[in-house]
Structure 1
Amino acid sequence: MEKVRIGIIGAGLRSGIAKYWHDPDGKSVVVGAADVSMERLKEFQKKINEDAYITTDYQELLARKDIDAIAVLSPDHLHEEHAMASLQAGKHVYCEKPLAITVEGCDRIMETAKKTGKHLMVGFNMRYMSMYQTMKGIIDSGVIGDLKAVWVRHFVGFGGYFYYHDWHGNSKNTTSLLLQKGSHDLDVIHWITGKYTKKVSAFGGLDYFGGSQPNTLTCPTCDIKDTCPEASLHTLTQCAFREEIDVEDNNMVIMELEGGIKASYLQCHFTPDYQRNYTFIGTKGRVENNDQEGKVYVRTRKSNSWHEHSDVTYDMKQEKGSHGGADPKITNDFVELVLNNKQPLTTPFAGRMSVAVGCAATESIRSGGKVIDVSPGPSMTYV
């Protein structure tokens, strides 16, 4: 195989990543797409490939012989169905995070990939961002000593627009936002530390969104759309205060990782700003990022070595492409995986473990904060 022919399942917002795969003069082309909305599919053709085959039945896409691989970009609760069907149809699979919305679903996908012998890759594009690669490189160098503690804050400014005006707000579609949104952060914690979480305790609540408004209410038809602070500014128009919303809008998770590393994770969807703040503390210093300034700070302490004499600030370079330049890199890695069996920065098992932690933390929240053991899975070897 000299060129990977890719089909897309899910022509929504995330389908924009397909532009990096459609390179007729390169190693991959996008030849088809499936979605329940023909309107979205026609828009997809305009943006990606006007000659792409489109269908509202994803099984028709999987039946095509001119498709080697499938990118699953559909809503979270459909990942398991679409990934398994694609693998069983003999296609290699790129699946957006989270891999599934249950641990059992992840295990079924991984087992299907093993049985079919097809490649499976999870869309953890934060591993490809220069900021987090820089932080991992610093920690791996040993400059802050032995890693002992991690502190992560994720402020999701405009969280209502992202998650409470559509399907994300209902747990049947997501389990909780500790999977949909948190899977990135949980994976970065695992990846940078090189350790998986063993047990968690968590607290959270639905303290701002949700409420008593009818599930059929939309922003354009609402009497208070001109004064409501959460009136939708885009096409996602379901009321953010409707009855069916049942996923927490703020969470605090305490984790114990392998090797005794302790970590804490906060996620909040009604903050005024959007930022991720990571702090890693070792026996000789700490590393902290500021993603709004594009900087990583290294602070050192007395260690009887030259490291204690200076602190270092790293300025992130601007990279081309969406998600801070990560999307072109991760899409290329999928192509290299299929063509040359070159292993990417991510692993299916890592995708499974971020879901396992998110599910355990959600269980802890909804049972009063009790300590929950994280399902270890068949292997704890690769991060």
Structure 2
Amino acid sequence: MPSSPQVYLTLVWVIIFVWEDLSLLVLLFLVVVWGLSGLDRIRFGIIGTGARGSHYGFLLSREYREDAEVVALCDSNPIRLRNVREMLGLNAKLFTDYRDLLALDDVDAVIITTPDYTHAEIAIASLEAGKDVLCEKPIATTVKGCREVLDAVKRSDRTFMTGFVLRYNRVFSTIKKMVSEGEIGSLKLVTSIDNRQGADYFRRWHRFRKNSGGLLVHKSCHSLDVINWVVDSEPVRVSAFGGNDVYVPGKWRGERCLTCKWKRECPEYIDLRSPRLSKLYLEPEKFDGYIRDVCVWTSEKDTCDNATVIIEYANGVRATYTLCLFTPYTSRQMSFIGDGGKLEVDEAKRQIILYPNYSSDVKTQKIGEERGGHGGGDMGLINDFLTAIREGKKPLASAEAGSLSVLLGLAAIKSIREGRTIELKEME
């Protein structure tokens, strides 16, 4: 953290004792107060400056000016790095190697938004460098990676947070509260459906399990974490079915959207020439050759575009989770059923309906819109991270929660590939 305010206060009293000119004293007092205002700001380094990293940079530099300062940015692509600094209007130091950023004494905390397979390595190095860490989900893409991150967190005295924004979205925090307070009695059954217009995952690095762990890890970890959080018990076994059935070669076949002759017909066409996407992806492509608009139909891929997962928990609760990446709309829809009633949740509508057993007194609750992204979850996440750093307490979205959701996703993939039920203890 920055220097102690006591140093500045001591300086003030010395000046007051020595000088008697009132105008000078007032001027000096104002200067020192101005200096003190920035002393408790947490200084951030953002590692990874793609869409997610630049969004964090935007929030910190616009919404948290009194609490935080972005002092360093890191990206393996120097063109994107410079573009993002310019887009955000920052005076941050630039690095293409995260180790150089971690060597800075004036970086207190880091946010990791690099491709998933790099998260564990960078998170561990950040903790060992004495930095507080906000790591985007998933915290790792392998069982070994999860174990190593948890071990590093235990060895460290720094704060570690997983980027589970849904825990800070009032739709889901309200559900957690209602179930915990027994409004549907004892929870018995959970159903969850992720409806996604998910073609974008199949034109990016996410389409390979070696990069993302698979979409049941990269994408599903959000909903799986909500289920784990609300059920409040350890998952015991998992059985899953899934495959890639829609994003396969068909009528439209090109190499990339930018040069495709079917761009006016294809429903999944994306135009990288927009100002923001051009700065983030099209211009940086000249350096590393990473193509952001690969054809979703012809691209190689080894992850699923749909899956159904069945989970059994130690407390007897059973859950079904369905991922569909080719729906015409995007929304999480969940139901929580107890022996005293049922809760139905629609994330897009920001609506919760309570159906009590043996009663017609149905109650509908609308949750107001909130700014900042993910239904207010992004800013809630940052608020909790800042508080956890300052007060030295464990954040709501912990490393353990991050690890458990990854293990569930990996167990589901293993079940699909091997055609059998997977005991979670096999994943340890």
Provide TM-score, normalisation by structure 1.
Answer: 0.91
Indicate how the Cα distance of structure 1 residues 357 and 87 shifts in structure 2: closer, same or farther if over 3 A, else same: same
Residue 323 (str. 1) matches residue 374 (str. 2): yes
Q: Is the 8 A contact 1:120 1:348 kept in 2?
A: yes
Q: Is the 8 A contact 1:31 1:49 kept in 2?
A: no
Aligned equivalent of 1:41: 81
Aligned equivalent of 1:73: 113
Give the one of 344, 352, 359 matched to 2:403. Answer: 352
Measured against aligned partners, the alpha-carbon deviations of 1:120-167 in whole angstroms (never above 9, x if no partner) come to: 11010000001011111111121210000000011102x112x01110
* CA distance in structure 2 between the partners assigned to 1:132 and 1:144 by the alignment: 15
Structure 1 runs not aligned, ≥5 long: 303-307, 379-383
Deviation at 1:258, TM superposition (A): 1.8
Q: Is the 8 A contact 2:247 2:305 kept in 1?
A: yes
Aligned equivalent of 1:259: 315
Indicate how the Cα distance of structure 1 residues 285 and 70 shifts in structure 2: closer, same or farther if over 3 A, else same: same
Deviation at 1:292, TM superposition (A): 2.8
* CA distance in structure 2 between the partners assigned to 1:156 and 1:260 by the alignment: 29
| % identical equivalent positions | 36
Deviation at 1:361, TM superposition (A): 0.2
- What amino acid maps onto 2:350 in structure 1? G
* CA distance in structure 1 between the partners assigned to 2:145 and 2:408 by the alignment: 14
Q: Which 10-residue stretch deviates more, 60-69 or 178-187? A: 60-69
Aligned equivalent of 1:3: 41
Measured against aligned partners, the alpha-carbon deviations of 1:53-77 in whole angstroms (never above 9, x if no partner) come to: 1121212111111101111011111
Q: Is the 8 A contact 1:251 1:266 kept in 2?
A: yes
Deviation at 1:216, TM superposition (A): 9.5
Deviation at 1:90, TM superposition (A): 1.7
Q: Which 10-residue stretch deviates more, 201-210 or 277-286? A: 201-210
For residues 295-314 of structure 1, what are the structure 2 equivalents within 5 Å? 295-302=351-358, 308=359, 310-314=361-365
Deviation at 1:217, TM superposition (A): 2.1
Aligned equivalent of 1:170: 208
| SS at 1:259 equivalent | coil
Aligned equivalent of 1:18: 57
Q: Is the 8 A contact 1:210 1:246 kept in 2?
A: no
* CA distance in structure 1 between the partners assigned to 2:64 and 2:347 by the alignment: 35
Q: Is the 8 A contact 1:300 1:310 kept in 2?
A: yes
* CA distance in structure 2 between the partners assigned to 1:61 and 1:13 by the alignment: 20
| SS at 2:134 equivalent | strand
| SS at 2:76 equivalent | coil
Aligned equivalent of 1:381: none
* CA distance in structure 2 between the partners assigned to 1:366 and 1:376 by the alignment: 15
Indicate how the Cα distance of structure 1 residues 329 and 47 shifts in structure 2: closer, same or farther if over 3 A, else same: farther
Residue 279 (str. 1) matches residue 335 (str. 2): yes
Give the one of 64, 67, 72 matched to 1:27. Answer: 67
Measured against aligned partners, the alpha-carbon deviations of 1:161-220 in whole angstroms (never above 9, x if no partner) come to: 2x011101111111210111100000000111112311100000011114499x992222
Indicate how the Cα distance of structure 1 residues 152 and 24 shifts in structure 2: closer, same or farther if over 3 A, else same: closer
For residues 232-243 of structure 1, what are the structure 2 equivalents within 5 Å? 232-234=270-272, 235=277, 236-243=292-299
Deviation at 1:268, TM superposition (A): 0.7
* CA distance in structure 2 between the partners assigned to 1:293 and 1:216 by the alignment: 36
* CA distance in structure 1 between the partners assigned to 2:237 and 2:401 by the alignment: 16
* CA distance in structure 1 between the partners assigned to 2:387 and 2:269 by the alignment: 43
Q: Is the 8 A contact 2:233 2:313 kept in 1?
A: yes
Aligned equivalent of 1:366: 417
* CA distance in structure 2 between the partners assigned to 1:125 and 1:272 by the alignment: 24
Aligned equivalent of 1:121: 161
Aligned equivalent of 1:305: none
| SS at 2:375 equivalent | coil
* CA distance in structure 2 between the partners assigned to 1:216 and 1:355 by the alignment: 33
* CA distance in structure 1 between the partners assigned to 2:314 and 2:417 by the alignment: 25
Deviation at 1:43, TM superposition (A): 2.8
- What amino acid maps onto 2:42 in structure 1? V
Structure number with larger C-alpha Rg: 2
* CA distance in structure 2 between the partners assigned to 1:114 and 1:100 by the alignment: 16
Aligned equivalent of 2:150: 110
Aligned equivalent of 2:7: none
For residues 51-90 of structure 1, what are the structure 2 equivalents within 5 Å? 51-90=91-130
Aligned equivalent of 2:193: 153
- What amino acid maps onto 2:162 in structure 1? V
* CA distance in structure 1 between the partners assigned to 2:157 and 2:244 by the alignment: 42
Residue 132 (str. 1) matches residue 172 (str. 2): yes
| SS at 2:56 equivalent | helix
* CA distance in structure 1 between the partners assigned to 2:141 and 2:347 by the alignment: 28
Residue 93 (str. 1) matches residue 133 (str. 2): yes
Q: Is the 8 A contact 2:343 2:352 kept in 1?
A: yes
Q: Which 10-residue stretch deviates more, 283-292 or 109-118? A: 109-118
Provide TM-score, normalisation by structure 2.
Answer: 0.82
* CA distance in structure 2 between the partners assigned to 1:145 and 1:46 by the alignment: 53
Q: Is the 8 A contact 2:169 2:376 kept in 1?
A: yes
Query: For the aligned residues, what is the CA RMSD?
Result: 2.1
Q: Is the 8 A contact 2:57 2:70 kept in 1?
A: yes
Q: Is the 8 A contact 1:209 1:245 kept in 2?
A: no
For residues 191-206 of structure 1, what are the structure 2 equivalents within 5 Å? 191-206=229-244
* CA distance in structure 2 between the partners assigned to 1:297 and 1:44 by the alignment: 42
* CA distance in structure 1 between the partners assigned to 2:271 and 2:49 by the alignment: 21
| SS at 2:303 equivalent | coil
